[in-house]
Amino acid sequence: MTDSVPGADAATPLSTTPAPAAPQADAPVAQPRSGRPRRGGRARKSADAAAPAQAPQRRAQRPVPPALEKLAELYPQLFGATFLPLKRGIFQDLLAAHPEAFEREALKAALGIHTRSTRYLQCVAAGLQRHDLQGQPVEPMAPEHVHHALLETYRRRQGRGPDDLAAKLRARIVRNFEASGLTREEYAERVRTRDEAANALLDEAFAELAERSARDEALLRAFEASGQSLEAFADMYGMDPRTVTRTLAGARQRRAVAAPGV
């Protein structure tokens, strides 16, 4: 995502409208009445049987713009086999580094295609840092950019397989929120859009987080009241000590955030 490329960081509405039903097959052709077959019927049938089935047409791939090919040649660590999020102002950096290699509008269009690609959005959704032309991380990705990349990659994948990706999406939204260090109000203010489906997913993610936090807080209180060692407490509840350790640490952290200075 680049701040100089129009639409690179814009949120894409999350469509949850189901795909239209497949059209009904044409009604079968009425069969001729019993009796002698019509003249030429066998010949037509044989010809139809011999005709090869037409293969489904493939969508023609768009040609790669020359400017994008040049970027992959100059910076394979950013535009090659592996994509990395780009720093803000990368457009100006490229023009300054290669004033003769790129025409301004062609470079802008190439960066727009690159930053809207699914592969690029996936690396943004992973929460990777932004990188400069040398491939060095220079700044963290804003939580709202990670959030919108998560929504867009989900939108592009939904309906393509049997798996329900909504639960995984909500879990990743929760992780992004927790990593942001923001309050729920601050996070929601950054990521909410006019897309009601996307906003509903955010609310569902927050609700799941609230339920999990309540369970973890209850476990922490039970541990504090038990007076037992962590291993003995985990054994009493039939839990893995490592799971109990992580759960208690998370509950203590959320408690400290909720009551700073206490």
CB 7 within 8 A of CB 116: yes
Residues 125 and 174 in one domain: no
Assess if residue 153 is contained within a domain. Answer: no
Assess if residue 122 is contained within a domain. Answer: yes
pLDDT tens digits, the chain, 262 residues: what are they? 444 443 344 444 454 443 333 343 433 333 334 444 444 444 444 444 444 445 445 556 678 889 999 999 999 999 998 899 999 999 999 999 999 999 999 999 999 999 999 999 999 999 999 999 999 999 999 999 999 999 999 999 886 766 678 999 999 999 999 999 999 999 999 999 999 999 999 999 999 999 999 999 999 999 999 999 999 999 998 999 999 999 999 888 888 877 655 4
What is the domain-level CATH number for residue 130? 1.10.1710.10
> Looking at this protein, which amino acid is placed at residue 133?
L
Residues 114 and 173 in one domain: no
Query: Which residue range(s) make up the domain with 90?
Result: 66-141
pTM for the complete prediction?
A: 0.71
